[in-house]
Amino acid sequence: MNADLLKIDGSFIRNIVSNSLDYQIVASICHLARMKKMRVVAEYVENEEIREAVLSLGIDYMQGYLIGKPQPLIDTLNEIEPIRESA
């Protein structure tokens, strides 16, 4: 099985701004993922500082309360339906 997406656990992301070791671990993971031509997802993007750090590392996708709070699938579908209709 070939993976094309790598998700970095929030336990590494949550302290990426204040902990240089976590930052270096995430940077290394991103480097390895790029070598394997994988896209990267960061969990636990909870504030603007974390978002900026994640962007600086070239991470492709973000998850967390800053991006959007968890909600039922039907609510998400209802939110995107008007966008799909206008496209």
Mean pLDDT calculated for residue range 33-49: 97
- Judged against a pLDDT cut of 80, whether residue 22 lies above it is answered with yes
pTM, entire model: 0.83
Q: What domain range includes position 29?
A: 5-86
Considering its fold, how many domains does the chain have in total? Answer: 1
Closest CA to 15 of 46, 55, 59, 56: 46
Residue 74: which H helix or E strand, with range?
helix 73-86
Which tokens belong to 34? 């790029």
Residue of 44, 40, 39, 37 whose CA lies nearest to 10: 44
DSSP helix/strand/coil, 79 = helix
| pLDDT attached to residue 46 | 97
52-82: pLDDT as tens digits: 999 999 999 999 999 988 899 999 899 889 8
